[in-house]
Amino acid sequence: MGRTVVVLGGGISGLAASYHLSRAPCPPKVVLVEGSERLGGWIRSVRGPDGAIFELGPRGIRPAGALGARTLLMISELGLDSEVLPVRGDHPAAQNRFLYVGGALHALPTGLRGLLRPSPPFSKPLFWAGLRELITPRGKDPDETVHSFTQRRLGPEVASLAMDSLCRGVFAGNSRELSIRSCFPSLFQAEQTHRSVLLGLLLGAGRSPQPDSALIRQARAERWSQWSLRGGLETLPQALNTHLTSRGVSVLRGRPVCGLSLQAEGRWKVSLGDSSLDADHIISAVPASVLSQLLPVEAAPLARALSTITAVSVAVVNLQYRGARLPVQGFGHLVPSSEDPSTLGIVYDSVAFPEQDGSPPGLRVTVMLGGSWLQTLEARGCVLSRELFQQQAQEAAATQLGLKEPPSHCLVHLHKNCIPQYTLGHWQKLESATQFLAAQRLPLTLAGASYEGVAVNDCIESGRQAAFRVLGTEPNS
């Protein structure tokens, strides 16, 4: 009888792991178990009454690098090429990003000329921060917070305005707690290898082998900065589901895993409450904190390490306005914590993807709320009502973008514990998990946003790597 691999979690990581398992020349029996009724995890797209698309989770995927190319390859393999909505390099959403500081929007400088010019909110041209970076010695610690690393290499303004905002935009997190080594590994590696981040980025880390396809070549030729799908990004998990089912993968929905136990022959029993599954190997693509609760006593040290990988919540407020205009054209703006502790940033969805505006077209923006403001409310056990988030988001849109009229449509979702936090020393947690799994020879492989990257591309890659580890084959490009 062939092996059975059970994949826990039907978010994009679990779907990607199942996808790569199912495409092996001699695939094992694959069972994907999802706790909710819907696949896709945080990837969720909702259609408004006028046909407009509202993304409740991710809204854009980057095509750059080997990971970006592999995701595009998967898109082609799934037959979704004609659904792709690119943001081409010459588009304002590719060229303009803003910071909201001191009550005003400031365009982030681009190109060499931009770096030489004074660029508020920074007091001096960023060229000077670059010069400082080039002559700063290499750090000696095995890890450092993003804030400390940036302050040491690029100065306090870049740390407290630019990197603080970036950490809020990508991780909804605090740059004074997040790890440079785990959150921005390319910056950490560039310093380690070339002593300077700028030198490292200029000289490059050497190109890793990349797949090739017509879509990948098009993305390169047109310098796409990101892309979405016509019907919203949830089209991707839906297409993966159709593909998996056609390949004989059992996809179970509405079946939360409630425990894992090891049997005498080294096989797993996966408890689903009223029934169970036997597995030769498990790929876990549920959050680390969830897995830590499912593991048996034999794996207590692993459970302890995983339980320390926490996540923060984000309130996503999608707003649509009739007859309104934005003061600037770009991807969106980020807000440093010193300016507004509640608003992480606002994405100008209609600029990047006007095709999703509905009919008649309405201006769509998404306000992301979180940070210390939300953490404090959660810690105090406050009532987190829809009205609270809607009011906060409308105020931010009015103050920061001049959108003072009430929105014609509004969606409010509080995503609890949705973004894992790679805090200082995260790499040690991963190392102790890896060592435990190797020493105990546990047939368990970890995938998902909890470990080595939260972006959709990172999650897809983690699923791919997990599948190849289980299959015992080397991933090709």
Ligand X SMILES: Cc1cc2nc3c(=O)[nH]c(=O)nc-3n(C[C@H](O)[C@H](O)[C@H](O)COP(=O)(O)OP(=O)(O)OC[C@H]3O[C@@H](n4cnc5c(N)ncnc54)[C@H](O)[C@@H]3O)c2cc1C
**Contact footprint for ligand X (CB under 6 A):** 8-14, 33-36, 41-43, 57-61, 256-257, 285-287, 290, 314, 316, 415, 418-419, 448-449, 454-456, 459
Question: What are the beta bridge partners of residue 6?
Answer: 31, 282
Q: Measured from the CB atom, is 157 or 458 closer to ligand X?
A: 458
The CA-to-CA distance between both ends of the chain, in Å, stands at 31
Q: Measured from the CB atom, is 126 or 430 closer to ligand X?
A: 430
**Closest separation between CB of residue 132 and ligand X, Å?**
31
Q: Measured from the CB atom, is 58 or 155 closer to ligand X?
A: 58
Q: Measured from the CB atom, is 87 or 158 closer to ligand X?
A: 87
Percentages helix, strand, coil for the chain (3-state, rounded to 5) are: 40, 20, 40
Peptide bond into 361 cis (omega under 30): no
**Closest separation between CB of residue 213 and ligand X, Å?**
20
Tokens of 232: 């919203």
Gap between the Cα atoms of 133 and 195, Å rounded: 9
**Closest separation between CB of residue 69 and ligand X, Å?**
15
**Closest separation between CB of residue 392 and ligand X, Å?**
16
**Closest separation between CB of residue 196 and ligand X, Å?**
28
> Cα dist. 331→85, 87, 144, 165, 454 in Å?
14, 10, 30, 15, 20
**Closest separation between CB of residue 417 and ligand X, Å?**
9
> Cα dist. 194→77, 115, 134, 327, 474 in Å?
38, 22, 10, 41, 29
**Closest separation between CB of residue 274 and ligand X, Å?**
14
Total residues belonging to the chain: 477
Q: Measured from the CB atom, is 258 or 328 closer to ligand X?
A: 258
**Closest separation between CB of residue 294 and ligand X, Å?**
6
**Closest separation between CB of residue 37 and ligand X, Å?**
9
252 touches 39 (CB < 8 A)? no
Q: Measured from the CB atom, is 55 or 133 closer to ligand X?
A: 55
| 3-state SS class at 282 | strand
Q: Measured from the CB atom, is 257 or 262 closer to ligand X?
A: 257
Q: Measured from the CB atom, is 12 or 471 closer to ligand X?
A: 12
Residue 224: CB partners within 8 Å, gap ≥ 6? 63, 86, 87, 88, 89, 94
Q: Measured from the CB atom, is 196 or 457 closer to ligand X?
A: 457
The beta strand positions in 23-164, using DSSP E, are 29-33, 45-47, 53-55, 84-87, 98-101, 104-107
**Closest separation between CB of residue 368 and ligand X, Å?**
7
**Closest separation between CB of residue 290 and ligand X, Å?**
4
Tokens of 94: 């590719």
Q: Measured from the CB atom, is 154 or 249 closer to ligand X?
A: 249
**Which string of DSSP letters, residue by residue, matches 330-373?**
SSEEE--TTT-SSEEEEE-HHHH-GGGSTTTT-EEEEEEE-HHH
Q: Measured from the CB atom, is 34 or 191 closer to ligand X?
A: 34
10 touches 33 (CB < 8 A)? yes
Gap between the Cα atoms of 447 and 428, Å rounded: 17
Q: How many C-beta atoms surround the C-beta of residue 455 within 10 A?
A: 17
- Rama region for 153: left / alpha / beta (φ>0; ψ in -120 to 50; rest): alpha
| 3-state SS class at 276 | strand
